[in-house]
Structure 1
Amino acid sequence: MTKNDEAWEKLFERYQILEEVNKNGCFKIEASQINQERESRLMAKFDHIVNLPKIFKDNKLSILPLSRSQYIIGNFHTHLPVKYHLEIQTIPWQFPREIETIDYTNLYSESSALLCAFNIGIIDDLVRSKTKFTVSGRMSTGIFDFSIKNSINKQLYSINVTNSQSEIDAGFETGDRLILIEAKNYRVEDFLIRQLYYPYRLWSNKISKKVVPVLMTYSNDIFSFFIYEFADISDYNSITLVEQKNYEIASEEIQTSEVDSLLNQIKIIPESQKNTFPQADKFDRIIDLISLLLENDLTPNDITDNYQFDKRQTGYYTSAGKYLGLIEKQEKFFILTDEAKYIWRQPHKLKYLKLIETILTHEVFNQAFKLSLETGGILSKEQITKLMSESNLNINNTTIDRRASTVKGWIYWIWSQID
């Protein structure tokens, strides 16, 4: 259990929170009460469903701030799933030659990605209008009421917010709109609606212009924007996706001939008994994790508490990074190897070719990719399982199927990088 898990277990027992929720539909808890176990700032902000403490997940509970000193716990539908539509074409974007202070190959924080997108004109193109960067940072929400859906019985529950604190990553103003952006420097599966809704309510009450809530993710060198609207200003769950747009700063495409050349010169490395065969299907999540580690060394709890990984996934994806020679552990921290730092300093094309090479130095991945090229399509999981069974990997029958999914996922990632 994480520190949050343990602290909330104690608070639930001390204040009989489950009993109160079942009886009254909610439980209001003071920040001072939460602070008895752990700082409320760390205990009450869960950007993704996977970050919720175990006792919340088990009982379909979530938590929202009512003010700077009080929170409410209930069966509230607080998060929204995010789907990246694969049919949407990514827009190539030229980087202006006159800008020298932004290194677009090194955008590993939310603020640097946002600043880049604004200064090179992506934000203007997104909203089809000239914008000015006008607001960011923490501010008081003011006073407002809203309704939220009960995640069990689907009934609406009324909530009053009085000067809670909200944070805006960036607000861009046009002649008739204010675009509020919540930014993540990794790919997401869902997000906390509150991060858009509270700023939306704040600014809708303060200005006459239309307020447009937007989620931006920067992952695998692609800016993805999800433009939303709230159909009913007083309904937290009336959020609706209006449009998704993707941008990528123009880079050279990887050609099949270049990967062929790479395959011809790769030297297969023996499988290490020290690093277990990976079980981490989504290679882009490994890239996101390495990008996060470029900013800070992180403990397992740091990764689990703050990003879209549960405890098991933290173990799987850090182990995958170790298997590739890109992540290592020093004392309680995960850090990047010199090889990873070298790769991430390269321009986009060279970086991704080097990552492809790093995967294909492992025999099973190499063979699976070569066979995929020969057949003109990615191998089935059954074909990959057979290949792995013949490769003396010391993987038992109960886990080989899951690890075959990893091989397939990584081969698909390589496939998707090639023009």
Structure 2
Amino acid sequence: MAKISTNSAWEKLFDKYNIEKEVSEKGFFNIKAEQIKEFKEPRLMAKWDSSESLPSILKSKGINILPTSRSSYILSDFNLYEELPKYIEDVTKMKRVEIRDLESIDIENITSEANAINVLMLSPILEDFLGDGENYATFNGRMGTGEFDFFVNRNLKDPLCIDVKNAQCEIDAGLENEKSVVIIEAKNVIHPDFHVRQLYYPYRLWRNKVKKPIRLLFSIYSNQIYRLLEYRFNDLNNYSSIELIKEKYYTLQDTKITCYDLLEVYKKTKATISDNMNDYEKTPFVQADSFEKVISLIDFLKEEDMSPAKVAEIMQFDIRQAGYYFNAGKYLGIFEKYHGEEFDDESSKWNKVVKIRLTKKGQEIAKMNYKPRQLELVKLILKHKIFNVFFLETFTTGQLPKKKDIENAMRKYNVCGEGQITRRASTVYSWLKWIFKLQKVTQE
């Protein structure tokens, strides 16, 4: 099997099986794993936990995919993703909790979903959020879904009824307490939405196994903060009946940052970088709106160096986005590239690749607790003239700058070409917003 990109493999499948025409005329297209495997391994072709990670051909055609068994899938213009109500940087209230002192648990080094779940279950977070008493871990891992059917909404047509026969689902954590059974889906990267299948398939499986009510939690651990969201399905047989019940934020550390903390960073930081694109060895001006994703990437690179392709896979980016976020870290002096090797699962060989790692400054930041880490990142941002100028203006007026004013400043400082200004001005606005949101977080 020749090695090709996921998007190229799907383009070939669309061409060979006239998938777009079939979906348009019949409303759906059933495809076997063996058909997908003609071009690429199915496990690499049919699982995207966020809509932003979908191959471009599926995005452009408005087509999504669901597993119907261990060896078959169905394609249609499904609505499969649930938008999260806010990005995590918009939080303004969170609860600080204490965790017992255990030698094998390092709360400053929670870098995997498994570690995040372990700490979550050791802390009082779940008891506080659920209110159902003590919880006991009873199941997790991959398992068959059993047989069931359900309706799911589509973009242009009526809901479609899907039959599932022992498809595979993976449960990050399953708990039981006196009143309920709890299913947890855990993430350690922030995305704007999530695939509802991750909660619905486990829900349908365990709904037939237990008598207690089932509670469904979506947990995000990022930047040393837990965000818990509880969902329910108003109709057992309707995938699209998902509803958010409540959400809450928790921290294990001091997260209180005041306006005076930010002002002190500003006073001690000299704007030494003009970002003029004519400068020698110029780093591209930033184009990466979510600063929280920059922080997530710091945590991943703390564990291991990665190729851009690996970054794209872990962060569920396309390769172009991986480049943008590497450049964002390079812009701050915390990411760098070098030549290394990476094992390729498809070819079972070690290949020479360009890899990304933390610089010395990046390693220092990765080891910091929440408050000093945020303030050090603010310092690195304010070393750049355009951010330094707009920080003082925002601090003085209490209002974020208008996009038009940011664009004019970008022209003045000659930071990028005219065709890139609008898109990159959005990043400037987003990063300034992230800075000033830090002071609005309160702890219970």
- Measured against the shorter chain, the TM-score band is over 0.9
Measure, in 2, the Cα distance between the counterparts of 1:404 and 1:216.
31
Closer, same or farther in 2 for the Cα pair 1:62/1:254, shift >3 Å?
same
CA contact (8 A) 2:172 2:185 kept: yes
3-state SS of paired residue (1:414): helix
Measure, in 1, the Cα distance between the counterparts of 2:314 and 2:163.
27
What code does the residue aligned with 1:412 have?
K
CA contact (8 A) 2:79 2:152 kept: yes
Q: CA deviation at 1:192?
A: 0.7
1:387 aligned to 2:391? no
3-state SS of paired residue (2:208): helix
- TM-score (normalizing by structure 2): 0.88
Measure, in 1, the Cα distance between the counterparts of 2:169 and 2:296.
26
Closer, same or farther in 2 for the Cα pair 1:156/1:114, shift >3 Å?
same
Which string of whole-angstrom CA distances, capped at 9 and with x for unpartnered residues, describes residues 248-285 of structure 1?
Answer: 22405223333333333324333464311112222112
Q: CA deviation at 1:208?
A: 0.7
1:373 aligned to 2:395? yes
Partner residue in 1 for 2:346: none
1:138 aligned to 2:160? no
Partner residue in 2 for 1:125: 128
Partner residue in 1 for 2:160: 157
Partner residue in 1 for 2:322: 314
Q: CA deviation at 1:72?
A: 1.4
What code does the residue aligned with 2:152 have?
I
3-state SS of paired residue (2:161): strand
Q: How many residues align?
A: 417
Measure, in 2, the Cα distance between the counterparts of 1:288 and 1:2.
28
After superposition, the CA RMSD in angstroms is 2.2
Partner residue in 2 for 1:104: 107
Partner residue in 2 for 1:54: 56
What code does the residue aligned with 2:123 have?
I
Q: CA deviation at 1:202?
A: 0.5
Quick one: which of 12, 32, 36 aligns to 2:38?
Answer: 36
3-state SS of paired residue (1:145): strand
3-state SS of paired residue (1:418): helix
CA contact (8 A) 1:364 1:387 kept: yes
What code does the residue aligned with 2:293 have?
R
Name which of structure 1's ranges 40-49 and 71-80 shifts more when overlaid on structure 2: 71-80
- Pairing of 1:18-417 with structure 2 (within 5 A): 18-84=20-86, 89-129=92-132, 130-153=134-157, 155-270=158-273, 271=275, 273-331=281-339, 332-391=354-413, 393-417=414-438
Q: CA deviation at 1:108?
A: 1.6
Closer, same or farther in 2 for the Cα pair 1:58/1:343, shift >3 Å?
same
What code does the residue aligned with 1:403 have?
R
- TM-score (normalizing by structure 1): 0.93
3-state SS of paired residue (1:208): coil
Q: CA deviation at 1:186?
A: 1.6
Name which of structure 1's ranges 58-67 and 376-385 shifts more when overlaid on structure 2: 376-385
Q: CA deviation at 1:122?
A: 0.4
Measure, in 1, the Cα distance between the counterparts of 2:419 and 2:260.
38
